[in-house]
Amino acid sequence: MTGNLTPKKLHPAALAYAQEVTAGTMDRREFLTRATALGVSAAGAYGLLGIKAPAVAQEAKAGGVIRMAMEVKGTKDPRLADWPQIANIYRGWLEYLIQYNSDGTFEGRLLESWEANADATEYTLKVRQGVTWNNGDPFTADDVVRNFARWTDGNVEGNAMASRFPGLVDEATKTMREGAVTKVDDSTVKLSLSISDIAVVPNLADYPSAVVHSSFKDGDDPSANPIGTGPYIPQEVSVGQRVVLVRAPNHTWWGGTSPLDEIHYIDFGTDPAAMVALFSSDEVDANYESVGEFIDILDGMGLTKEEADTASTIVVRMNSSSDLYKDKAVRQAIQLAVDPAVVLELGYNNLGKTGENHHCFPIHPEYAEIPKQTINPAGLPAALEAAGLKDTELEVISLDDGWESATTAAVVAQIRDAGATIKHTVMPGSTFWNDWQKYPFSSTTWNHRPLAVQNMSLAYTSTGSWNETAMANPEFDKLMAEALAIADAEKRKEVNAKLEAILQDEGYIINPFSRSLFRHHKEGFAGLAQHPAFEHHHYKWSVA
Partner 1 sequence: MLKFILRRLGVMLLTAFALTFVVFYLTNLAPNLEKLARSEGSVRMTEEAVTAWIEQNGHSGPVLMRYGQWLGVVPGWTFTDEKGVTRGRCIAQDGDAALAPRYCGVLQGNWGYSTVFKQPVGPALLEKLGATGWLMLWVMIVMVPVSLILGVLSGMREGSAMDRTLSTFAIVSTATPEYVSGVVLVALFATATTGLSPLLIDMGLLEPKKTLFLASSTSAMDNITFWNFTLPVMTIALYGIGYIARMTRASMTEVMTQQYIRTARLKGVNFRSVVMKHALRNALIAPFTVIMLQFPWLLNGVVITETLFNYKGFGWTLVTAASNNDIQLLLGCSVVAVLVVLVTQLISDIGYVYLNPRIRIS
Segment lying near partner 1 (by CB under 8 A), choices 25-33, 278-286, 311-319, 381-389: 278-286
Nearer to partner 1, 271 or 417 (CB): 271
Question: Minimal distance in Å, beta carbon 155 to partner 1?
Answer: 8
Closest CA relative to residue 357, chosen from 415, 394, 315, 310: 315
Q: How far is the CB of 88 from partner 1 (least distance, A)?
A: 17
Q: Interacting stretch for partner 1, rule CB under 8 A, among 119-127, 275-283, 309-317, 327-335? A: 275-283
**What is the pattern of x (binds partner 1, CB under 8 A) and - over residues 121-160?**
----------------------------------x-xxxx
The mark string for 420-459 relative to partner 1 (x by CB under 8 A, - otherwise) is: --------xxx--xxxx-----------------------
Give least dist CB 297 to partner 1, A.
9
Position among 53, 274, 375, 529 found at the interface with partner 1 (CB under 8 A): 274
Closest listed residue to residue 347, CA positions, set 509, 510, 512: 512
Q: How far apart are CA 59 and CA 509, in angstroms?
A: 47
CB-wise, 16 or 274, nearer to partner 1?
274
Tell me the closest approach of the beta carbon of residue 505 to partner 1, in angstroms: 27
Give the three-class secondary structure for 522.
coil
CB of 53 to partner 1, least distance (A): 37
By CB under 8 A, the residues from 367 to 426 that bind partner 1 are none
- In the complex, the smallest distance separating the C-beta of residue 377 from partner 1, rounded to whole angstroms, is 34
Report the residue from 1, 149, 195, 277 that binds partner 1 according to the rule CB under 8 A.
Answer: 277
Per-position x/- string for 195-224, each x denoting binding to partner 1 as judged by CB under 8 A, each - no binding? ----------------------x--xx--x
The distance of closest approach from Cβ of residue 535 to partner 1 in the complex, given in angstroms and rounded to an integer, is 19
Which helix H or strand E contains 318, and what residues bound it?
strand 313-318
Report in angstroms the alpha-carbon separations of 174 from 79, 148, 154, 170.
Answer: 15, 13, 5, 6
Interface with partner 1, residue 280, by CB under 8 A: yes
* Non-local CB neighbours of 133 within 8 Å, separated by 6+ positions: 139, 213, 227, 228, 229
Q: Does 262 bind partner 1 (CB under 8 A)?
A: no
Q: How far is the CB of 249 from partner 1 (least distance, A)?
A: 23
Dihedral angle sign, alpha carbons of residues 302, 306, 307, 311 = negative
Under rule CB under 8 A, residue 239 binds partner 1: yes
The smaller minimum CB distance to partner 1, of residues 398 and 496, is found at 398
Position among 241, 321, 462, 463 found at the interface with partner 1 (CB under 8 A): 241
3-state secondary structure 66-128: EEEECCCCCCCCHHHCCCHHHHHHHCCCCECCEEECCCCCEEECCEEEEEECCCCCEEEEEEC
| CB-based contacts of 385, cutoff 8 Å, min separation 6 | none
CB of 23 to partner 1, least distance (A): 42
Q: Write the binding mask 74 to 103 for partner 1: x where contact by CB under 8 A, - elsewhere.
A: x-----x-x---------------------
CA distance 444 to 108: 32
In whole angstroms, what separates CA 158 from the centre of its chain?
17
**In whole angstroms, how large is the CA radius of gyration of the chain?**
23
State the DSSP string of 361-420: -TTSTT----PPPPP-GGGHHHHHHHTT-TTPPEEEEEESSHHHHHHHHHHHHHHHHTT-
Q: Name which of 158 and 256 has its Cβ closer to partner 1.
A: 158
Q: How many residues bind partner 1 (CB under 8 A)?
A: 36
Q: Cβ of residue 520: shortest distance to partner 1, in angstroms?
A: 14
CB of 268 to partner 1, least distance (A): 6
**C-alpha dist (Å) from residue 214 to 99, 218, 345:** 21, 10, 50
Q: What is the rounded CA–CA span in Å between residue 369 and residue 500? A: 9
Interface residues for partner 1 in 469-488 (CB under 8 A)? none
Please, which residues bridge with residue 66 across strands?
263
Q: How many CA atoms lie less than 13 Å away from 25 in the CB half-sphere?
A: 12
Among candidate residues 234, 294, 307, 285, the one with its CA nearest the CA of residue 88: 234
Give the H/E segment covering residue 183. Answer: strand 181-185
Which residues of the chain form contacts with partner 1 (CB under 8 A)?
74, 80, 82, 155, 157-160, 217, 220-221, 224, 238-241, 266, 268-269, 274, 277-278, 280-283, 301, 428-430, 433-436, 465-466
